[in-house]
Amino acid sequence: MAFPKVSRANLERHLPILQWSKSYDRDALTSDVVAAVIVTIMLIPQSLAYALLAGLPAEMGLYASILPLVAYAIFGTSRALAVGPVAVISLMTAAAVGNLALQGTAEYAAAAITLAFMSGVILTVMGLFRLGFLANFLSHPVIAGFITASGVLIATSQLKHILGVDAHGHNLYELVRSLDAHIQETNMITLLIGVTSVAFLFWVRKGLKPLLLATGLPPRLADILAKAGPVVAVAATTIAVWLFDLEAKGVRIVGEVPMGLPPLSLPSFSGEIWSSLFVSALLISVIGFVESVSVAQTLAAKKRQRILPDQELVGLGTSNIAAALSGGYPVTGGFARSVVNFDAGAETPAAGAYTAIGIAFAALLLTPLLFFLPKATLAATIIVAVLSLVDFSILTKTWSYSKVDFSAVAATIFLTLGFGVEVGVSAGVLLSLGLFLYKTSRPHVAEVGQVPGTQHFRNILRHNVETHPSLVTLRIDESLYFANARFLEDYLLERVVCDEPIENVVLMCSAVNEIDMSALESLEEINKRLQDMGIALHLSEVKGPVMDRLERSHFLEELSGRVFLSQYDAMIALTPKEQEAAAV
């Protein structure tokens, strides 16, 4: 049996590691190892903290930071993207799995593993069928609004660990009400640890590196030490809890973290669980991909590199499948970690694989040291990380630029804060689609005239142009499809019902890239109704692909007017007096 030949280029497209590994040298190795050391230092406390945010055992954060990074190094196309647990996806995981009302930590963890597997399958299938373009329907302002609201929710949800109290809730109102009900139970030692850790971590982000540089340390070493700030907070508070026996005084700790490499795990194949988690898995996949690919494209542009969005889907999909098979939960590319990875000099995705090795060593050797780690410190790590995501300036930006975009952003923020992340992200998806349909269903249509002394045509409301009472020219600034076909019909017929001696109407189609069947039927109706009114319908500046389709229909045969190559040709042909003047 003969197997089809697979070209080297096609194989490299699906396995990007084959492409960048050809030129891998000692310099790239050094850069990747240094970047991996810095990201590993940053990722250890983050992975523990994000697992806590997701309501999962701390070790699952470490597990989600090992094999997924290896999978992305093989299948991903970004040279700097750092894959692993992130705040927003962790919060969405907590919301999704929390809705199942499962009994016990084991069932809860199994559901999170299943969620990672489902998300991985969805992303991989989308990548193989090249469906990455679907993510373009999520508008950036809506995503920014969702991430801002999620950051507020995440920070609020961690206040219970800072205060050392029990508090629960899926939205801002429930969280604040629960915190208020338990505020009198605050453990003052826990509060001291939490507030001190938050203050220290904020100072580390802004002030430690300049201080180290002022002492004469090399920039690279100063950067590594600054990134180690969370590790210092973890080490100092853990030693303090152990040394002064603060657990006995009510300080809540992480407790025993299993030592060893990630165990082999399998997702649940229960139809009930899959049906319950499918929508959540789809939303996590889309949000994770949008966040990841935007970071990857930004970093790639800085080095004049490019990523392949469809292959990125496969890279993230296989990473999530790897997470599910190694006891982890859903992962994606993190903004902060990726920027650190890039700034630290990562040259190839191998930096992620080396980071995975570092995390594996931590899981093998360091977990016994985490027993006395206070949850307040991990909560502080989360709060400091997510507050950088909060950006309410998106409201003022959209308000001044577009009231429609402002409404979508404000609604997304309000729904996320008021009803939880799943409602918020679902609303964001629907608002993005609704926003697109609304804008394109009411396309900008301009009546144009000739700029004196030129062959250019511009909007009569914006420019001093020449027109003719018997000729109306409308420029359509949008493709014509089912959602806006009736709008054009109503607009045009309303324009010609007047006392002017209109004899010809020209549709200037320079901005029309597509005319679907519904729009074609509307054009046919417009042609008939204008013909009944004694007015001829013409087209000008029709693009080649659009003309190819029109020629396959009967529209051009029934058209009462003509199709002109340019609007200037139409103006000359349809205004005889101007034609005579031009001849003179």
Report DSSP letters for 515-575, one per residue.
B-HHHHHHHHHHHHHHHHTT-EEEEES--HHHHHHHHTSSHHHH-SS-EESSHHHHHHHH-
Per-residue pLDDT tens listing for the chain (584 residues) = 444 555 666 777 778 888 888 889 988 999 899 889 888 888 888 899 999 899 999 999 999 999 999 999 999 999 899 999 999 999 999 999 988 867 668 899 999 999 999 999 999 999 999 988 877 777 788 888 888 999 999 999 999 999 999 988 889 999 999 999 999 999 999 999 999 999 999 998 888 888 888 888 888 778 777 877 888 899 999 999 999 999 999 999 999 889 899 999 999 999 999 999 999 999 999 999 988 988 888 888 888 888 888 999 999 999 999 999 999 999 999 888 888 888 888 899 999 999 999 999 999 988 899 999 999 999 999 999 888 888 899 999 999 998 888 988 999 999 999 998 888 888 887 887 888 888 889 899 999 999 999 999 999 999 999 999 999 999 999 999 999 999 999 999 999 988 788 999 999 999 999 999 999 999 999 999 999 999 999 999 999 999 999 999 999 999 999 999 999 999 999 986 544 444 33
* In contact, 121 and 317? CB cutoff 8 Å: yes
Whose structure tokens read 């529209």?
Answer: 555
Which of 288, 334, 292, 358 has its CA nearest to residue 77? 292
CA distances to 103, 111, 162, 288, 322 from 263, rounded to whole Å, are 22, 16, 32, 25, 12
Q: Which of 111, 78, 140, 21 is nearest to 314 (CA)?
A: 78
The C-alpha torsion from 383 through 389 and 395 to 398, rounded to 10°, is: 180
What is the C-alpha to C-alpha distance for residues 160 and 180, in angstroms, rounded to an integer? Answer: 10
Burial of 101 (0-12, 13-18, 19+ CB in 10 A): exposed
CA 414 to chain centre: 19
Strand partners, 526: none
Locate tokens 């389709």: which residue? 549
Select from 109, 106, 111 the least CA-distant residue to 51: 109
- Rounded CA separation 427/338 (Å): 28
SS (H, E, C) 25-37: CHHHHHHHHHHHH
Q: Which amino acid appears at position 406 of this protein?
A: F
Structural tokens at position 575: 């205004």
Among 393, 394, 390, residue whose Cα is nearest residue 409: 394
Written as one letter, the residue type at 367 is T
CB 455 within 8 A of CB 566: yes
In this predicted structure, what is the pLDDT of residue 105?
A: 80
Helices (H), 15-167: 17-20, 26-53, 58-63, 67-75, 87-98, 104-128, 140-157, 159-163
447 forms beta bridges with 474
> What is the CB neighbour count within 10 angstroms for residue 506?
26
Count of Cβ atoms closer than 10 Å to residue 419 Cβ: 17
98: which residues sit within 8 A by CB, 6+ positions away? 55, 170
Return the bridge partners of 476, or none: 445
What are the angstrom distances between the C-alpha of 256 and each of 108, 259, 366, 370, 497?
18, 9, 12, 7, 80
Specify the pLDDT at position 422. Answer: 82
Question: What is the pLDDT at residue 584?
Answer: 37
Strands (E), 407-531: 445-450, 457-459, 471-476, 504-508
Q: Cα separation of 93 and 103, whole Å?
A: 16
d(CA 156, CA 390): 12
Q: CA-CA distance, 504 to 467, in Å (whole number)? A: 12
Give the C-alpha distances (Å, rounded to integers) separating 46 from 34, 63, 202, 298, 428.
Answer: 19, 12, 15, 23, 27
Q: Torsions phi, psi of 536, nearest 5? A: -90, 140
Tokens coding 276: 């319950």
Task: Name the amino acid, one letter, at 119.
Answer: S
Q: How far apart are CA 43 and CA 352, in angstroms?
A: 11
Q: DSSP for 243-307?
A: HTTGGGGT--B------SSPPP------HHHHHHHHHHHHHHHHHHHHHHHHHHHHHHHHTT---
